[in-house]
Structure 1
């Protein structure tokens, strides 16, 4: 794998090679189901076993170098598919990290329009202010810093990410049952220590307690 990465794709830096190899191994170990769909026609283990069995059945003189060079050629081609897909994934991850860093830089030093907000991701995406009053979509759109949409028109989600960056709250209380979804991970990567994640049930409990307390005061 490392030779293919270096000689066919010209990645000479050892750190870059290692990061690509880690993606390859995660695919081989079955941890990247999203990428294995592109390799449904590849069965390296089965092909290696068949190739070795052919040698024993044919009862021929064995040369390891010849075995690798000629008999394993189809398997080497399959290995190249793993490398190709892993390099594409590596490039995408690098672009994603650069994108995240750009948004972090945008956030740095920006004045917070709210001390904290509540973000509920349930049947949809809902913003609430400090008092758990839902913020209207039109009001959120009005708060968006247009530089975000001009400079990053494709990548910035105007429904969630752009309002969050524009408001720049000191703390975001995010409530969801889908902690592993891409949107939640992106919010977490951008806002880091500003983000507090809880369950949706915690949101409804907190909201009802605040409403009950407010009614008592009235």
Structure 2
């Protein structure tokens, strides 16, 4: 089997990426811009396909993704491209499993390996460029789907950030009405004022919602909007799930006004609270 590369440098890069044990087992030789290999068993062909897949991803994938972002979806600002590529990378790394669209996407590495399944055993001579041009249709289509999902997520994140920014400006624009609110992470949430008295008439803050609409915010009642309406200087949240999305949003909105304590801290002092 003889594989031609576009340049000697590319051939050297691929050759150096092969484990020495595999080079010996498959009798791999580097000859200028070509790679000659003489695999003796079927598993060597499968390994070779895996190494080609890794090489293609490492060398070409980022450029192809950027091309898709620019030409197909018309995002040309550097900051936008970096953000979208970051989301794609997170999806690849399995860090975006909460995105339902990402669950049904194929393994892009396996798509490349599958595209090489026949040609490595049936062709004595082939070129990497022919593989890139004619054999990766399913893989390139998958990349486009990954980018599409990443762009949808990027737009949602942008909308979310605009929402957070508006809430921060509301907090800064109005004078605090009380020193401290303590929040117990229960279902529903319990709120106590700075004298440890339960705030019972939480629904009264609904009068705050017309004001929110003046800021361009049309949202359902939530613990975050309730706290903004009460306008405390400090928010103390007793919770055992500080990494939950709601807690992260609280932190982004109230910034240094909010602190999180374990639920056990609340239990130690609960006797002092008025129900």
Q: TM (normalized to structure 1)? A: 0.87
Shift of 1:134: 1.0
Q: Distance in 1 between matches of 2:78 and 2:206?
A: 47
Match of 2:170, SS state, is helix
Shift of 1:183: 1.4
Answer whether contact 1:174 1:195 (CA < 8 A) is retained: yes
Provide, for residues 32-71 of structure 1, a one-character-per-residue CA deviation record: whole Å limited to 9, x for no partner.
1112653424121111112223221221542323211221
Shift of 1:122: 2.1
Distance 1:129 1:16, change over 3 A: same
Match of 1:77, SS state, is helix
Shift of 1:206: 2.2
Shift of 1:75: 0.6
Larger radius of gyration: 2
Q: Distance in 2 between matches of 1:47 and 1:189?
A: 40
Answer whether contact 1:122 1:200 (CA < 8 A) is retained: no
Distance 1:10 1:60, change over 3 A: farther
Among candidates 172, 194, 201, match of residue 257 of structure 2:
194
Indicate the RMSD between aligned Cα atoms, in angstroms.
Answer: 2.1
Distance 1:118 1:152, change over 3 A: same
1:179-218 counterparts in 2 under 5 A? 179-208=242-271, 210=272
Q: TM (normalized to structure 2)? A: 0.70
Q: Distance in 2 between matches of 1:118 and 1:81?
A: 45
Match of 2:232, SS state, is coil
Match of 1:33, SS state, is coil
Answer whether contact 1:174 1:198 (CA < 8 A) is retained: yes
Distance 1:161 1:140, change over 3 A: farther
Shift of 1:146: 2.8
Shift of 1:177: 1.2
Distance 1:143 1:127, change over 3 A: farther
Partner in structure 1 of residue 208 of structure 2: 144
Distance 1:76 1:36, change over 3 A: farther
Distance 1:46 1:36, change over 3 A: farther
Match of 2:254, SS state, is helix
Answer whether contact 1:132 1:207 (CA < 8 A) is retained: no
Partner in structure 2 of residue 78 of structure 1: 142
Partner in structure 2 of residue 126 of structure 1: 190
Among candidates 104, 127, 132, match of residue 68 of structure 1:
132
Among candidates 164, 174, 193, match of residue 110 of structure 1:
174
1:148-187 counterparts in 2 under 5 A? 148-149=212-213, 151-154=216-219, 157-187=220-250
Answer whether contact 1:6 1:12 (CA < 8 A) is retained: yes
Answer whether contact 1:118 1:128 (CA < 8 A) is retained: yes
Q: Distance in 1 between matches of 2:121 and 2:75?
A: 40
